[in-house]
């Protein structure tokens, strides 16, 4: 497939109608690795807000099982869209996510910000370090998928345009970014997860490279000093060189999507595997547009994994 063939098709599509298809092309074909890099940066941005990082610090999930916490977050989002957001499977994934969050008192504005980071973070990373920038149709598709996910999570005031998400994201950070010891603890635990992906001799430099890719307001909020200019420049050039090399490769064929690979689940996963161990002792609640009995027609534990094939690693 030609490198720009899929882009030409996307530019002829209507995001309001085709946003799920465009989203799949972004995440599984055009920018699978860069989308995950942007999502990883979004994780770290969440920790720049003391109210968010204090909650995560109290749960100790990143300290005790950081790789599982990272994998579960990525995979639940994948499960929500893999058969369609409004499919029964997508709705079951949303109900599962809601019962995890339901244990905590999380302000709506914090939910909005975390959701915004998953829309704005990947786009900004791809625009800077991807093999091409996202077109308008792709940016709006990210926003529309984020909007639908937010509605299913019961979040109010969710934007339905990329500009709306970006404005919310930046305004919230200007108001809420501040240093707190919990910020640094949770960020350090997450960076240890990222570093563990590399052989031991390279873990220190991998952490420093990750920090070199972060902006100064985020570093200040997390309690880290900026990396030396030479390392920031080298990191930027290396990522831009990578983008140039990817640009020379053919497009990924439709029959070979790049699907999530979870280190926690080398033999595959089911929806029931995802989330903290206590989650399944909590009942699921219907989504905002479901009747009170609809979510309980088939109990979640019976629906998965028996009726949905186990996801195999790829």
- Listed residue (158, 101, 123, 159) closest to 279, CA to CA: 101
pLDDT for res 296: 47
Residue 300 pLDDT exceeds 90: no
pLDDT in tens, 290-299: 877 555 443 3
CA-to-CA distance for 256 and 293, rounded, in angstroms? 39
The per-residue pLDDT of the chain, averaged, comes to 91
pLDDT in tens, 137-172: 999 999 999 999 999 999 999 999 999 999 999 999
Is residue 129 within 8 Å of residue 37, measured between CB atoms? yes
Which parts of 153-199 fold into alpha helices (H)? 162-176, 181-195
Q: Map residue 269 onto helix, strand or coil.
A: strand
Write down the pTM of the prediction. Answer: 0.90
pLDDT for res 294: 52
Residue 118 pLDDT exceeds 70: yes
Question: How far, rounded to the nearest angstrom, does the alpha carbon of residue 155 sit from its chain's CA centroid?
Answer: 17
Is residue 264 within 8 Å of residue 193, measured between CB atoms? no
Q: How many CB atoms lie under 10 A from the CB of residue 157?
A: 11
pLDDT in tens, 243-275: 999 999 999 999 999 998 899 999 999 998 999
- Listed residue (93, 32, 94, 70) closest to 264, CA to CA: 70
Percent share of the chain, pLDDT over 90: 81
């Amino acid at each position: 497939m030609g490198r720009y063939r899929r882009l030409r098709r996307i530019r002829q599509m209507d995001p309001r109608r085709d946003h799920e298809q465009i989203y799949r092309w972004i995440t599984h074909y055009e920018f699978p690795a860069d989308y995950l890099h942007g999502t990883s940066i979004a994780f770290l941005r969440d920790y720049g807000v003391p109210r968010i990082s204090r909650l995560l610090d109290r749960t100790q999930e990143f300290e005790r099982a950081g790789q599982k916490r990272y994998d579960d977050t990525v995979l639940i989002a994948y499960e929500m869209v893999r058969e369609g957001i409004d499919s029964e499977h997508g709705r079951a994934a949303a109900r599962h996510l809601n019962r995890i969050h339901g244990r905590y008192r999380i302000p709506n504005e914090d939910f909005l910000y975390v959701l915004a980071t998953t829309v704005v973070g990947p786009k900004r990373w791809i625009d800077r370090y991807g093999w091409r920038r996202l077109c308008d149709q792709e940016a709006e598709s990210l926003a529309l998928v984020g909007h639908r996910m937010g509605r299913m999570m019961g979040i109010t005031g969710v934007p339905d345009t990329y500009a709306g998400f970006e404005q919310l994201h930046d305004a919230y950070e200007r108001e809420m970014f501040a240093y707190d010891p919990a910020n640094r603890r949770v960020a350090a635990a997450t960076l240890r997860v990222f570093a563990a992906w590399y052989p031991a001799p390279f873990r220190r430099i991998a952490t420093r490279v990750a920090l070199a890719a972060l902006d100064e307001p985020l570093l200040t909020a997390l309690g880290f000093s900026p990396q030396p200019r030479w390392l920031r420049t080298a990191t930027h050039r290396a990522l831009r060189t990578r983008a140039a090399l990817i640009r020379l490769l053919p497009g990924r064929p439709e029959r070979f999507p790049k699907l999530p690979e979870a280190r926690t689940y080398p033999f595959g996963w089911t929806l029931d595997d995802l989330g903290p161990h206590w989650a399944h002792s909590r009942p699921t609640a219907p989504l905002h547009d479901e009747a009170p009995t609809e979510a309980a027609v088939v109990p979640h534990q019976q629906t998965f994994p028996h009726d949905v094939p186990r996801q195999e690693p790829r």
